Structure 1
């Protein structure tokens, strides 16, 4: 079993989508199920509707999964297993106030040492623990020996016992902390491999400690993906538009191209342009670079253009607002100067929009419009052009400048004969 575990707290980040894609690929390779676990226990940060938005995006990218789970539905298991740890003395109640703990953190900061909880409540007398009515959290006891993680990407990672303190597993309101809920849920789902971002590396030994304390000794495999950097070499954040999958889709990047690029980043594929289904045949986690990958929007534009070229004309026509394969073929002509379906849609829209004719050509344009209105249908552009030329007496730039603008909406662009081939059935609607 593999899992993708997003939080419904904002737009899906490309790093999260990359994690989802890799989990999907490996689940197919291993013939194991992939579940989606919506980690919604932090009620204050949840945004209504974001869970469905996540699922819609996964479906759009062709990521198949066997079921959707909500972490909040496992609360009874989280509570029961925390109680088990308390009964077995593998966890303890902590009555330290937030102000006290903040003071300890400040002391550690001033002394330039890493803060570790000092186990002040680890050995309180039973009568004090039982009778005390003060609010308390529950902490798991710190490990006694090092925890070693074998990572598919990073290799062996060793966490010394003194690097992990007795951390909180239940808040004062008895809701589970992230690491506890995550560890329990992975255990309940019998997850075999966890693929996630490297920002979770520090969580891994804590989750292993929790599972082993609960008597679950199955070795879960790990693969922590390097972070994605922006143009400035810093971690991509919500301030970077391109970090949002929703933004990329709205800008006209195809799901197939986005997936292609996210698999390509920091990887060694056998070819540059491919579809997700192809990647299942050759993808290997061990080929992912250990160092961060830099997001290059220009590379994504190149890949997107190649994927647009592979679309069937009728499918492409729908992206630009039509259902006519001729318009799809027309859009492909504009790929020489466009990278996204949004840009192509704007190009096609200018053809059908009201034309803005420069003053010096307005009179000529009016003449052409009148002629076209009563002109017969012409299969070839040369015949169409010659008819207008003969009827108007116009030639040179006085003919070609206004004619191009009337047909395309702009003064410059692809060969007008190539454009005419796909718009000839719409001439009456275009030239007006």
Structure 2
């Protein structure tokens, strides 16, 4: 089984989605299940409804998973195994105050060294521990030797005992810390493969150390991938709100750092050819212009009725209109803005407003007219306007823009809505 952890504090961002897409693809390739794990350990920091919102976003990308579990539901297991580690002298009670720990961190910073717990409480006798009434955390004993494991994308990773350190596994309130909860939950749910960002390699080593002390001997395959950098750290919600299709976003994120025979593909296609061992090992950079280009291509390929429904209609002609507007649009939002202009109230015209008002009055009483040429002829016959004075204000009246080389084609697609357009 594979797993992806949702943090219900923040919106899911592009790098998070890239990781879950990789997990989904690999789970399908390995014919294994995917578990969504929700990190709700810090209840006071959780944004209400953020977990459900994130799950809804995953459904937009057709990411199916076996189950959703909340880490807090496993609290009794976290605490039980922590007690086991303490009884076996593999973990210990730490009474150091926050002030003392901050002091140690400050000293380490002055010496330009990483913080390392000084081990003060590790040597306290059982009698001393029993006689101390102060609140305490539980710390794991740091390893005696290096923690080494294989990263499937690179050579073996190795972390010294100092890098692992005697880190906290239970806080003062006896709730588990993230790394400890993850290590226990990976055991409980028989996780076989973990795909994470390269920056979290040391966390993987800490989790391995915990499982080693718990005598859990199943080897978990770790795949640590290079990070995805973005100047704006786009969230998936913001991209969807801007009118990017989930299919295009997924296409772009899987394409990043990969080689594909086709630039345009679905996640189902990617399951057939994707090889995670071949993805780039270098830091990747998010390019919004490349995403816009891919999004446009997906919109070009989409069925016209479906596109119409995405835009809030159920008319093939509106879908065809959207395709015409794609010439200088890249997203659903940009197309919607153009369609909204078509149906907007156009009370005045900055050019010859008198000509504009005449055309508008004329068309309010016009019968159904088949073509744009016939429309122009009708206006000429019903008004005293000259032919050269009609095109610009008429184009503005129909689409909210003064010029468009496709106005004849556009008219064929909006003629049934003329009553709504001429307000």
Specify if TM > 0.5: yes
Q: Give, in angstroms, the shift of residue 66 of structure 1.
A: 0.9
Deviates more, 1:331-340 or 1:349-358: 349-358
The alpha-carbon distance between structure 1 residues 148 and 262, as it changes in their structure 2 partners (threshold 3 A), is same
Q: Is the 8 A contact 1:321 1:345 kept in 2?
A: no
User: Per the alignment, do residues 377 and 94 of structure 1 end up closer, same or farther by CA in structure 2, a change over 3 Å counting?
Assistant: same
Alpha-carbon distance in 2 for matches of 1:227, 1:397? 58
Instruction: Tell me which residue corresponds to 1:329.
Output: 320
**CA–CA distance in 1 between the matches of 2:192 and 2:296?**
38
Partners of 2:405 and 2:203 in 1: how far apart? Answer: 55
1:387 positional shift:
2.4
Aligned ranges for residues 219-368 of structure 1 at < 5 Å?
Answer: 219-231=219-231, 240=232, 243-368=234-359
Give the Å deviation of 1:88.
1.1
Contact 1:226 1:290 in 2 (8 A): yes
Match of 1:404 in 2: 395
CA contact (8 A) 1:401 1:411 kept: yes
Structure 1 residue runs of 4 or more that deviate by more than 4 Å after TM superposition: none
Q: Distance in 1 between matches of 2:23 and 2:101?
A: 38
Taking a change above 3 Å as real, the CA distance of residues 268 and 401 of structure 1, as seen in their structure-2 partners, is same
RMSD between aligned alpha carbons? 1.5
72-81 or 171-180: bigger deviation: 171-180
Aligned-pair distance for 1:167?
Answer: 1.0
User: Where does 1:175-254 land on structure 2 (aligned, <5 Å)?
Assistant: 175-231=175-231, 240=232, 243-254=234-245
> Deviation of residue 380 (structure 1)?
2.5
Q: Is this contact kept in 1: 2:251–2:266, CA < 8 A?
A: yes
Find the residue that maps to 1:224 and give its secondary structure.
Answer: strand
Alignment of 1:79-118 (within 5 A): 79-118=79-118
Query: 2: distance between equivalents of 1:307 and 1:266?
Result: 20
Cα pair 1:357 1:402 within 8 Å, conserved: no
- Please tell me whether residue 387 in structure 1 is matched to residue 378 in structure 2: yes
Can you list the C-alpha shifts for 1:53-97, whole angstroms capped at 9, x where unaligned? 011001111000011100000000000000111111111111222
Counterparts of 1:209 and 1:26, CA distance in 2: 25
In the alignment, the residues of structure 2 paired with residue 110 and residue 366 of structure 1 have an alpha-carbon distance, to the nearest angstrom, of 76
2:65 is aligned to 65
Give the CA deviation at 1:32: 0.5
Q: Which blocks of at least 5 consecutive residues in structure 1 are unaligned?
A: 232-239
Provide the rounded CA distance (Å) in 2 between the counterparts of 1:198 and 1:45.
Answer: 25
Q: Is the 8 A contact 1:333 1:414 kept in 2?
A: no
Cα drift, residue 262 of structure 1? 0.8
**Larger deviation: 121-130 or 353-362?**
353-362
Q: Distance in 1 between matches of 2:55 and 2:291?
A: 23
Structure 1, residues 317-365: CA drift from partner, whole Å, max 9, x if none? 1232322111111011000111110110010010111115434422222
Checking the alignment, whether the CA contact within 8 Å between 1:164 and 1:206 is kept in structure 2 is yes
Describe the shift of the 1:5–1:32 C-alpha distance in structure 2 as closer, same or farther (beyond 3 A).
Answer: same
- Number of matched residues? 423
**Residue aligned with 1:185, SS:** helix
What is the SS of the residue equivalent to 2:313? coil
- Pair 1:22 & 2:22 matched: yes
Q: Secondary structure at the match of 1:121?
A: helix
The CA deviation at 1:184 is 0.3
Which shifted more, 150-159 or 337-346?
Answer: 150-159
> 2: distance between equivalents of 1:13 and 1:30?
26
Deviations along 1:140-187, one digit per CA (max 9) or x if unpaired, are 111111111211223321112332211111111111011100100011
CA displacement 1:209-264 (0-9 Å, x = unmatched): 00111110111011122222124xxxxxxxx2x52111111111111111111111
Deviation (angstroms), 1:116: 1.0
